[in-house]
Structure 1
Amino acid sequence: MNKHHQNIIAIFFIVIISLFLFAYWFDISFGYGQMSLILAGGYGIYLNFKAIKEEQKPT
């Protein structure tokens, strides 16, 4: 497993755990903070897929 795949998995779990903590431990309803966390995680995953594609390009 390369560094990009590990990074994607880490981002995914960080976002899921953070959303779980916001919802159940801090008892915060879904709002702009959670939505921005999801968008930032999605953008990070997108950048990792873009980097994977760039590495696979023939030179």
Structure 2
Amino acid sequence: MSDWHTSSYSPNGSNCVEVRETPETVDVRDTQNRAVGHLTFDAAEWTAFLDEVRSGRL
């Protein structure tokens, strides 16, 4: 599994979201609350989410 890295959408290290990719999934967690766990998305879900963000609908 790949390492966690800060999202390129997180400015200046504040309010960061970290992600890690696997061949099947993308995991997302809050940098300031790592102990609460992470969310896991399959490729289709993650792509749909990014499309919504990029379109400005989210």
How does the TM-score come out when normalised to structure 2?
0.33
Greater relative contact order (CA < 8 Å, ≥ 6 in sequence): 1
Q: Which has more radius of gyration?
A: 1
Larger helix proportion of the pair = 1
